[in-house]
Structure 1
Amino acid sequence: MNDTTPGPLAQDGTLALRVLREHLASVYAGHTTAIAAHGVFALAIGVFGYFNVLPGHRALVLGIVTTIVLMDLYVLLSKRWTPAVPLADSPRWARRYTVHVTLVSAMTAPCSLFLVALQSPAMTTFVTVVIMGSWTRAVQARWPLKGAMFGYGIPMMSGLIVALAWYGSMLNWFLAGFALLNLVLTLREGVKQNERLTASLMLQFENEALAAQLREQVAATERASAEKTRFLAAASHDLRQPMHAIALFGAALGSTLRRRPEIQNVERLMRAVDALGASLDTMLDISRLDAGVVQAAPRALSLDALLIPLHHTFSAQAERKRLQLRVRASGLWIHSDPQLLYRMLSNLVDNALKYTTQGGVTVIARPRGDQAWIEVRDTGIGIAPEQRDRIFEEFYQVDNLGRDRSRGLGIGLSIVQRLSRLLGHRIELRSHIGRGTRFRVVLPLAEASEASAGAFSPLDLELPVRQRFEVPALRGRVLLIDDEEEIRKAMTELMSAYGIEVAAVADEAEAVALLTGPGAQEPPVALLLCDYRLSSGVDGLELGLRLRERFQLDAPMLLITGETAPERLQRVRASGVPVLFKPVTAAMLMQAMAELVPAERRTEAPDA
């Protein structure tokens, strides 16, 4: 195999060329030293021979030595390989190097023949030792290039062996055999070293290529995930806008028709809006978790304080499907974030109920050492082994090719997985087809000191059970900034139905005109209500803050948005400005506004 032929590990030409390039770098790193040493070696032999031959032969010795030194100078002064040489030119430079060292070696061979011919045992032994030592040292520097190794060693050593054999004597025959054995063994070791070096470089470059491919795949996956997140954010925003308007108009219509028979149709409409809003909020939860805006606040709490409301929340759903829902009290104290853990357990129970048609769902907790195991067991359809990793993927659902809407969007377990990572609670899964599934949440028990200090109550959970809300008694009007006319009309009608005066504008120019025109402060602005994304890319958050500073408005600010993009959620959270996510119901809007004004100026609204 020559220097330009890829080895057995090479799977493509580029890999073989990269290996050859490294070999060239290795041999050229010691090129100057090797050639200079060869020149010194030639001069040493010349000086020794000059003073140990007949006077008539001295001119021949000088001629041979001079030729060798001139050849060494030519090789040293010739154009050398550098890392700037193109990769494709590596084979040509390998051949060039091989030719140079072969010529240098071939010019050295006559020295052996001439000096051995003197028939001096001392001269013969000296020449043999010097040439073999020079060859052995030089060939080690040329292991990376097999052709150069053979080209340098064979001419020089062959000249010595032929000279020793030609002028045969017991000593010469012994030295010739020794030199031949040295040549064979050294070349054999050189071939092995060359193969080891080549294999090592092949493996290194293959690993680098695999690492590069892995980085590309990771980058592609991250790009796909980012694109998916952007798509979902855009889709969510575009869906939330009309849903927001429907919710507002529905709330205003419900306020008008509160005591008329037509209110049933309004209630049906609002239930449909709430259902779609819940689906959109689920996608929002994914975005909030991915954005890192959800922060865990673990504390000691009684597990029963979560299990009791969990049973209350899902008992009606279980009854509708004629399933048994058993939630067993445990008396355990655990260390976790109550809101996030409750959401985890809620999603697991909700998922179990959706995929169970007979039997029931059981929630049980028990201590194991310094840990608590919370298990959600069902008698549902079960999960096949090949699907157990996929169930945590977004929008993946088991046995729901028809996308039955009653089984949700397929995001619940994705949220569970993200929450488990955020909280550091391990999730374990065990399932049998046709027999059911068990999810286990493994979390730490609370220390005795923590348990004695804990005072978490089920009432502390943020559960969607409020049917009444407070109406803000504002000493002034609401300045509403939204670029969509339908939203402005719906918001104005809704707030007007609850006795709230509204000044609605589409952009900054209209807001400035309103605040600087006649009677600008009559009545004063008591609340600034801004949409986050306005027309032409205007940022509602920046606009609201700018107006408050410019006109020194001593009024709280509330953002409304349909955004779910992680980077935008992070920015909103960092601002500290309260935010509502579309679609916004009357209860959500009024309660958020009420919480921004002093408590003594709140009144309570009738059932929404």
Structure 2
Amino acid sequence: MEPDQKRITVEAAPADPNDRAGKLNRINEVLMDRVERLEASKGTGWSMFQAAVALEQEVNARTRDLERALLDLSNRNRELALAREAAEEANRSKTRFLRAAGHDLLQPIAAARLFLGAIRDSSLQPAQAELVEQLGSAVQSVEELMQAVLEISRLDSQRIEFSRQPVALGDLFTRLAREYAPQAEARGLRLVFAPTRAVVDSDPAYLRRITQNLVSNAIKYTPEGGVLVGARRRGARVWLEVRDSGIGIAADDRARIFDEFQRGPGEGAAPGMGLGLAIVRRACAKLGHPIHLDSLPGRGTLFRVGLPLVQNAADPPPVGGWATAPQPSAQTPVLTGLSAILIENDPSLQRAYAIQLRDRAGMTVHVAASSAEAEAVLDANPGLRPDIVIADYQLDHGDTGLFAIAALRERLGPVPALMVTAHDSAEVARACGRLDVPLLLKPVTAEALRHAIAGAIMAQR
């Protein structure tokens, strides 16, 4: 048994201590490397976890900031919308007020015009005549300012109505040539309207107003030389051109002159309100007519308005709107012996009409303030058939001159009638046109009133 035991003892003997230490060192190195890698992996994951948590917190904070900003923006937009609505309502209220008050604002001016005409026809001393002329000039300035302000108010209205139709520029030029010839002659200027057969699509009343303002403006700012008005065709458009040899417009002033109450140099020689070009710009914008300006200081100015051409147009209606009163001629018509029913609710205008028509023109005038009073005039005067009915549009308690004219015609037949009103609106003009009643706008001169009466009577014969 001893040999075997000896053998076993030999096989179980430990290895070399140096080899064991080296192996342990190697094992230790592997384990430490693994531990280090695990620690490194653990540290990276923790850092990523911490970064993710921090990023989430930042995102939440930024989301809350964005939500607050969006809420603030929504509140601001709501405030702006309310402010805009308030401003638009204020503008609409102003427009409604001016439209409603326009009639009453012009009534005293209309009466003053007629009273001044009566005074002017009287025997006056030279000093008195000069005072009357100065007063007449002041009244005319107030009238022009009121008309311009009311017209701007109408153009600013969102509910403005236009009556677009074919307009013959040749007819428009003929009427404006007669209208502005005295003004140009008084300033020593040549005023030329080039003949044209062009027919364009526009609102006749507003196109006439646009051209009037451009021609008047050209005459006003032209100290010498002349003004040329013409039409030039370019493709599907006709360009209405107003060219003058006046003082011109500097480049810095070309946008400003279209603003309200803006007047150029030299205005002292020809006073104005500075509203003409503001009306032109608004009317052109509403009608879709482009307007261009070319000018050189000291060399003159050219205004061009683009108008749609009407191809193969039939004869268009007369320029100026619907049923308008005829233009005055050189000779004052004789109205002596004619009779009229005057329907006017303003006492001062009743008196002014009476002075002009009864005392000056020799007419018989029956005055009424409403449709009912006009019919009462017929009841009180059996057999009366007036030569003409003269009516204001706006009467009391919702009554209108159109109702009065229709009621009298129902009893008398197609008696001539004339509407004299401060309501310069498309609705009133169209209503007058349907009844074949000429329309004369207040304030009106005594001469224009007499010519309108004579024209309305002649048109029915």
What TM-score do you get using the length of structure 2 for normalisation? 0.66
Match of 1:503 among 366, 388, 391: 366
Match of 2:293 in 1: 429
1:372-451 equivalences under 5 Å are: 372-399=238-265, 404=268, 406-447=270-311, 449-450=312-313
Tell me which residue corresponds to 1:102: none
What is the CA distance between 1:287 and its match in structure 2? Answer: 4.8
Cα distance change, pair 373–296 in 1 and its aligned pair in 2 (3 A): same
How many Å separate the matches in 2 of 1:342 and 1:509?
A: 37
Residue 223 to residue 389, structure 1, CA distance change in 2 (3 Å): farther
- Does structure 1 residue 185 correspond to structure 2 residue 52? yes
1:288-334: CA deviations, max 9, x gaps? 54566663333264x45544554554444334334444554566564
Larger deviation: 504-513 or 214-223? 504-513
Give the Cα separation in 2 of the matches to 1:365 and 1:546: 43
Q: Is there any run of 5+ residues in structure 2 with no aligned partner, and where?
A: 1-34
Against the structure 1 CA distance between its residues 371 and 547, is the aligned structure 2 distance closer, same or farther, given a 3 Å change threshold? closer
Corresponding residue to 2:83 among 216, 225, 229 = 216
Distance 2:92 2:264 in 1: 22
CA contact (8 A) 1:480 1:504 kept: yes
Q: CA deviation at 1:583?
A: 2.3
For 1:39-92, what per-residue CA distance to the aligned partner results, in whole angstroms no more than 9, with x for missing partners? xxxxxxxxxxxxxxxxxxxxxxxxxxxxxxxxxxxxxxxxxxxxxxxxxxxxxx
Quick one: which amino acid aligns to residue 482 of structure 1? N
Is the CA contact 1:243–1:273 (under 8 Å) kept in the aligned structure 2?
A: no
**1: distance between equivalents of 2:224 and 2:449?**
40
Alignment of 1:158-557 (within 5 A): 174=41, 177-192=44-59, 194-195=61-62, 198-199=65-66, 202=69, 205-206=72-73, 209=76, 212-213=79-80, 216-217=83-84, 219-220=86-87, 223=90, 226-227=93-94, 230=97, 234=101, 237-238=104-105, 240-251=106-117, 265=129, 272=137, 275-276=140-141, 277=143, 280-287=146-153, 289-290=155-156, 295-299=162-166, 301=168, 303-307=169-173, 310-311=176-177, 313-329=179-195, 334-337=200-203, 339-399=205-265, 404=268, 406-447=270-311, 449-450=312-313, 453-454=314-315, 464-468=327-331, 478-484=341-347, 486-496=348-358, 497-505=360-368, 519=380, 521=382, 523=384, 529-531=390-392, 538-541=397-400, 545=403, 553-554=411-412
State yes or no: 1:581 paired with 2:438: no
TM-align CA RMSD: 5.1
Q: Is the 8 A contact 1:308 1:458 kept in 2?
A: no
Q: Share of identical aligned residues, percent? A: 29
Cα deviation, 1:520-549, whole Å, max 9, x if unaligned, reads 545367765554566xx644428x738976
Deviations 1:203-239 (A, max 9, x none): 674376257436625743662575377469758744x
Q: Report the Cα offset of residue 351 of structure 1.
A: 0.7
Alignment-derived partner of residue 16 in structure 2: none
1:335–1:444: 8 Å Cα contact kept in structure 2? yes
Cα distance in 1 between the residues matched to 2:41 and 2:213: 89
- Going from structure 1 to structure 2, the CA distance change for 1:221 and 1:352 (only over 3 Å counts) comes to farther
SS of the residue aligned with 1:421?
helix
Q: Kindly provide the amino acid, as one letter, of the partner of residue 308 in structure 2.
A: P
Q: Judge conservation of contact 2:162–2:203 (CA < 8 Å) in 1.
A: no
Q: Distance in 1 between matches of 2:166 and 2:82?
A: 39
**Distance change in 2, residues 1:464/1:204 (3 Å):** farther
Residues 60-139 of structure 1: pairs in structure 2 closer than 5 A: none
**Alpha-carbon distance change, 384 to 253 in structure 1, aligned in 2, over 3 angstroms:** closer
Q: Secondary structure at the match of 1:295?
A: coil
User: Which SS does the other structure have where 1:376 is aligned?
Assistant: strand
Q: Is the 8 A contact 2:328 2:448 kept in 1?
A: no
The structure-2 alpha-carbon separation of the partners of 1:429 and 1:199, relative to structure 1 and needing over 3 Å to count, comes to farther
| Alpha-carbon separation, structure 1, partners of 2:112 and 2:261 | 26
Task: Report deviation, 1:502.
Answer: 2.5
Aligned residue pairs, count: 414
Counterpart of 1:99 in structure 2 is: none
| Contact 2:344-2:392 at 8 Å conserved across structures | yes
Judge conservation of contact 1:288–1:294 (CA < 8 Å) in 2: no
Kept in 1: contact 2:239–2:306 (CA 8 A): yes
**Are the structure 2 counterparts of residues 191 and 215 from structure 1 closer, same or farther at C-alpha, using a change threshold of 3 Å?**
same
| TM-score, normalised with respect to structure 1 | 0.53
Shift of 1:370: 3.0
Asked whether the 8 Å contact 2:337–2:363 carries over to 1, the reply is yes
Q: Please state how far the C-alpha of 1:278 moved relative to its aligned partner.
A: 5.2
Letter in 1 for 2:49: N
Q: Distance in 2 between matches of 1:311 and 1:479?
A: 33
Measure how far apart 1:442 and its partner are: 2.0
Secondary structure of 1:490 counterpart? helix
Q: Which has the higher contact order (CA 8 A, sep 6+)?
A: 2
Where 1:341 maps in the other structure, the secondary structure is: helix
For 1:563 and 1:424, the matched residues in 2 are separated by: 25
Partner in structure 1 of residue 27 of structure 2: none
Counterpart CA distance in 2 for 1:360 and 1:353 is 8
Inter-CA distance 558–538: structure 2 relative to 1 (3 Å threshold): farther
Contact 2:343 2:370 in 1 (8 A): no
The equivalent residue for 2:4 is none
Deviates more, 1:453-462 or 1:368-377: 453-462
In structure 2, C-alpha distance between the alignment counterparts of 1:288 and 1:332, rounded to whole Å: 28
SS in 2 for 1:408: coil
Q: CA deviation at 1:585?
A: 2.9
Cα distance between partner residues in 1 of 2:405 and 2:174: 47
Higher helix share: 1
Matched position secondary structure for 2:215? helix
